[in-house]
Amino acid sequence: MLKLHNYFRSSTSTRLRAALKVKGLDYEYLSYALLKGENRGADYLAKNPAGLVPSLELDDGTVLTQSLAIIEWLEEMHPEPALLPADPVGRARVRSLSYMIACEVHPLNNLRVLQHVESQFGGDKAAWFRHWVGVTFAALEAALAGSADTGRYCHGDTPTMADLCLYAQVWNNKRFEVDMAPYPTVTRIFEALDALPEFVAAAPPNQPDAV
């Protein structure tokens, strides 16, 4: 069985949990309390030298890291149901929407950055978080609202990799009390995703290590 090394509150972990649920794949849930530094232990660092979550450990002991790389691997190994469109332009759009969150919001707002902003510079980490969400979510809302390719979800009427990223990020936004009123399309898509059992099962509050 696949082993998922993750943390309930980690948005990257939420993305991957949702992908595994959509693909109908079972996995062993292994949790690491990031606030306690459990991801910095020698055993885990031997699997993932960056000490980040999630990691997906395969039956043969191979360890895959970086959530979007793992999702792309899942897509190649378990192509149905698809998380990327069949056409090249559609695939590029879904990747672009995914990267807006994974490469623009998340690197600035992950735990270690927020801790550094607070401890080294005395900054307000919640205000920092909300600022950088706003910068990208304004563009994300425009991209989604202004495209005929947007359907019930980010791209058409079936969930894609972009929806995995959007869903996970909005859960993070809730923790930091981000005002979602300026993002009605994002909110509508999140609510549609949150009605799907696969996504509900992946949500942070529904994990065994949730506190």
pLDDT of residue 99: 98
- Helix, strand and coil content of the chain, in percent to the nearest 5, comes to 60, 10, 35
The per-residue pLDDT for range 105-137, each reduced to its tens digit, is 999 999 999 999 999 999 999 999 999 999 999
Query: Which pTM value belongs to this model?
Result: 0.96
Q: How does the average pLDDT of the chain come out, rounded?
A: 97
Query: Looking at residue 115, what is its pLDDT?
Result: 95
The answer on pLDDT for 211 being more than 90 is no
pLDDT tens for each residue of 46-82: 999 999 999 999 999 999 999 999 999 999 999 999 9
The pLDDT assigned to 154 comes to: 98
98-125: buried (b, 16+ CB within 10 Å) or exposed (e) per residue? Answer: bebbbebbbebbbbebbeebeeeeeeeb
